[in-house]
Amino acid sequence: MKTLDAIETSFRAARSAKDRFGMETFNMLRAALKNALIEKGEPLNNEEVLVLLRREVKQYEEALVSLEESGAEERAEDAEKRLDLLRPLLPKAMEEEEVFAVIDGVISSMESPSLGPVMGQVMGKLKGKGVDGGKVKGWVASRLARD
């Protein structure tokens, strides 16, 4: 099932269940998708929908941390509930071992590997796989330091 279809199905399920919180969460996501569609001027492909969904999830994760640190418990709970609704729509992220295999393959294929070029190739291979670029950068740096 395409991600956009899954979002619409989730919205309809929330509407049928009269789940105001779920409807609000999916409506905000749908509005962001509509804005991206208007900006692009043509329908979004599944990868673009996933990029937008990941961005929304990341914003809620960052908001959750900030809200917990500031003591805004009720708002933090809302952010956690929204994450619980949105995370299942994301594809399963690659296992760390698989990412390390990609990193090692790229490093071994290069004559004199350095962080920038290795990251470019690795992230190109991992695009759309649900891998955090910040973590990958740390792993690449540690692999390069080891060699």
Per-residue pLDDT tens over the stretch 53-107: 989 999 999 999 999 999 999 999 999 999 999 999 998 878 888 888 999 999 9
* CA proximity to 77, closest of 64, 62, 58, 66: 64
Can you tell me which residue has the tokens 């509005």? 31
Q: What is the pLDDT of residues 125-137, one digit of tens each?
A: 888 777 878 888 9
Task: Enter the pTM of the model.
Answer: 0.70
Q: What is the pLDDT of residues 29-50, one digit of tens each?
A: 999 999 999 999 999 998 899 9
Helix 3-16 vs helix 20-40: crossing angle, to nearest 10: 150
d(CA 78, CA 114): 42
